[in-house]
Amino acid sequence: MVNIYILTLFPQMFEGPFSAGLFQKAVERGVVKVDIRNIRDYTHDKHHTTDDYPYGGGAGMVMKPEPLFEAVEAVKNELSQQGIENVPVILLSPQGRLFTEQVALELSKHTHLIFICGQYEGIDERVSEYLATDEISIGDYVLTGGELAAMVVVNAVVRLIPGFLGSPDSLLSESHTTGLLEYPQYTRPPVFRDWAVPEVLLSGNHAQIAQWRREQSLLRTAKRRSDLLAKANLYPEEKRFIQRLETSVDIGVKEQ
C-alpha cells in the first residue's frame, strides 16, 4: 500500500484520472490511497493569497512559500504521529530531474509520498531548496502547472506497486521495463481489411513466438529509439542481430 498526498491549487483536476479504469480499481483494492489537499486551505489572510509579484520584476506571478511549507508540514505532522518519518517531498517542475520508469520504480518502494504541484510562472526558490527532497519533470516541454505531471508520475508509480496488476507478467515484457520498446500485439480477427496477423503468432509454436517478439522489440527499438538500444542489456547474439540490421540497407534502421 502506498499513501499519496497531493498538494494543489486545483484539486478538481484530479477527479477524472483517479476515478476511472485500473487506477480506480487500485484505490478500491486498497493498493493505493490518495489524499488531495488544497494549498489555499493553508493560507491565513482574508483573500487566501497563494501568489505574489516576483522580486526583481518580470512577467507573471510566483507562488508564495508559506502556504506550501504549512501544507507539507501539516501532512508530515500527521504522519509523524503515526511514527512515519522521512517521507519524500516531490516538487513537480520543469527544472526537475527527468522522470523515467527507473524513477517510477524508485518511488514505488516508498509507503508515503508527498507531491507539490506548482502553478503560475514559478515557485519561490526556497520551496525547492528547503522543503522538497526531490524535484521531477516529466519531459522537455512546459505545462501550465504541475498537476498533469503529478498525475503522470502517480499513475506510473502506482502500476508498479505489487498487487496492482492482475498478472505481474505483463510488467516484465512491456516497453521500458526491459529497456526496449514492446513488440507488436494483435487480437482477432486474423485478417482485418486485408491486413493479416503475422503467421508466426497463429502457429502455436511458443519458442518461435518468443523469438519473433524479441526480434520485433529489437527492430522497433533500433528504428525508433536507438538511444534506448545503446543502454539495453543485450545478449551477444542480439548485438550481432542489431549490427546486421545497421548494415542492411533495406530494413532502413537509419532512415526513420
Binding site for ligand 6GU (CB under 6 A): 92-94, 96, 137-139, 141-143, 145-146, 149
Q: Which three cell numbers stand for residue 210?
A: 518468443
Q: Which is nearer to ligand 6GU, 31 or 51 (CB)?
A: 51
Least spacing, CB of residue 91 vs ligand 6GU, in Å: 8
Q: Which three cell numbers stand for residue 1?
A: 500500500
Least spacing, CB of residue 218 vs ligand 6GU, in Å: 30
Phi, psi of 102 (to 5 degrees): -60, -45
Q: Which three cell numbers stand for residue 139?
A: 519531459
Q: Which is nearer to ligand 6GU, 71 or 154 (CB)?
A: 154
Least spacing, CB of residue 15 vs ligand 6GU, in Å: 20
Q: Which is nearer to ligand 6GU, 13 or 149 (CB)?
A: 149
Of the candidates 73, 72, 67, the one whose C-alpha atom is nearest the C-alpha of residue 124 is 67
Q: Which is nearer to ligand 6GU, 88 or 184 (CB)?
A: 88
Q: Which is nearer to ligand 6GU, 79 or 150 (CB)?
A: 150
* Bridging pattern class, strands 51-52 and 62-63: antiparallel
Q: Which is nearer to ligand 6GU, 93 or 221 (CB)?
A: 93
Least spacing, CB of residue 154 vs ligand 6GU, in Å: 12
Q: Which is nearer to ligand 6GU, 152 or 180 (CB)?
A: 152
Of the candidates 42, 132, 46, the one whose C-alpha atom is nearest the C-alpha of residue 93 is 132
Least spacing, CB of residue 148 vs ligand 6GU, in Å: 8
Least spacing, CB of residue 150 vs ligand 6GU, in Å: 7
Q: Which three cell numbers stand for residue 126?
A: 526556497
CA atoms within 13 A on the CB side of 49: 11
Least spacing, CB of residue 65 vs ligand 6GU, in Å: 18
Residue nearest to ligand 6GU (CB): 149
